[in-house]
Amino acid sequence: MSPPVVLAIAATDSGGGAGLAADLATFAALGVHGACVVTAVTAQDTLGVRAVHPVPFDVVAAQLDAVLDDLDPVAVKTGMLATPEIVRLVASRCAGRRLVVDPVLRATTGAVLATDDVIAAYREHLLPVATVATPNESEFAALGRPSGPNIQVTRGGDIATTNDHGTGCTHSSALAAHLAHGADLPTAAARAAAYVSHQLRLGKDWTLGRGRGPVAHIHATTQGEIA
């Protein structure tokens, strides 16, 4: 049987910890085929975001049309959307699908990744058509603390680690994967939380980079298993 298709609409992360790197790794781990639409190219590492280059709107739209028209994804997960025009495009083209919105508005380091116009577009266009939105505490506040059954504020767990870069991306991708497999929202949310906790425990003692290291996205524990 063919795996379900899940689409990630997000930015790259040159450090490999968050964004599309986290999305596609999580999709593969959870048994779905991952497609992607690149909204921005970022220069970032474990210390922070150095530069952001938004992809032109027509190129984003062409990527989105290509995936939706051919692969017909069961679920869609959004990350950094870069511009209000892209937010409105995603809301228009993805309404009616299992849509997980991770409103990437600020980096863990505090870097602002969304303008006021982007935040307004989230509130007015994308959140109303989302199956679920997964802001963290600061993103929830930036969005004006919207209420509703489709808002689930993600909070840090009880695992002591500084290797947590990409936690939100990993969680929302896992949630989308479980929805694609047919789980209802409460079940998908619980399974996503358990997956993230497992990956945080797996990488809690790693030393990768000089800042907040990435959530573990490996799934083989020995070199023998990798080979």
Task: Supply the pTM of this predicted model.
Answer: 0.94
- What letter represents residue 66's amino acid? A
Give pLDDT tens digits for 155-194. 766 789 999 999 999 999 999 999 999 999 999 999 999 9
Alpha-carbon distance of 177 to 168, in angstroms, equals 14
Alpha-carbon distance of 22 to 183, in angstroms, equals 21
Chain centroid to Cα 163, Å, comes to 17
Asked if 134 contacts 154 with a C-beta cutoff of 8 angstroms, the reply is yes
Architecture of domain 5-226: 3-Layer(aba) Sandwich (3.40)
Alpha-carbon distance of 24 to 8, in angstroms, equals 8
Burial class of 149 by CB neighbour count within 10 A (0 to 12, 13 to 18, 19+)? exposed
- What letter represents residue 128's amino acid? P
> Tokens 């797996």 map to which residue?
202
Give pLDDT tens digits for 34-90. 999 999 999 999 999 999 999 999 999 999 999 999 999 999 999 999 999 999 999
Q: Which of 130, 140, 144, 33 is closest to 90 using CA atoms?
A: 130
